[in-house]
Amino acid sequence: MARRGGELEAFIAFLGGLLAAGLAALTMAGVGLAARPTPALRTAAMVTLGAIWLTVTTTVYLRLKPRIRP
């Protein structure tokens, strides 16, 4: 029986994106302790984290999504 829907793949991709964004946030927090970030730099960091999360989530999902074979 073939499984359809892709819910498991979507959940795994979401968690992968969350993990990547979390690791990037920890790295940015460590750098922020060494140098005082400006408000503009904080905004750029938030945009970067969002971009990392979206990119990793989409990439992982597309890699896990089963291919339809004729």
Question: Residue 54: its pLDDT value, please?
Answer: 95
Split into its structural domains, the chain has a count of 1
Cβ proximity of 45 and 28 under 8 Å: yes
pLDDT digits (tens, 9 = 90+) for 6-41: 788 889 999 999 999 999 999 999 998 998 889 999
Spatial contact of 18 and 60, defined as CB atoms under 8 Å apart: no
Return the pLDDT at 67: 65
Task: Note the pLDDT of residue 70.
Answer: 57
pLDDT band at 68 (very low <50, low <70, confident <90, very high): low
* Residue 70 is assigned to a structural domain of this protein: no
Instruction: Tell me if 24 is assigned to some domain.
Output: yes
- Residue 2 reports pLDDT greater than 70: no
Cα pseudo-dihedral 54, 59, 60, 66, rounded to 10: 130
Closest by CA position to 14, among listed 62, 47, 58: 58
Q: Residue 12's pLDDT is what?
A: 92
Find the domain containing 21 and state its range: 8-64
Domain-embedded: residue 1 = no
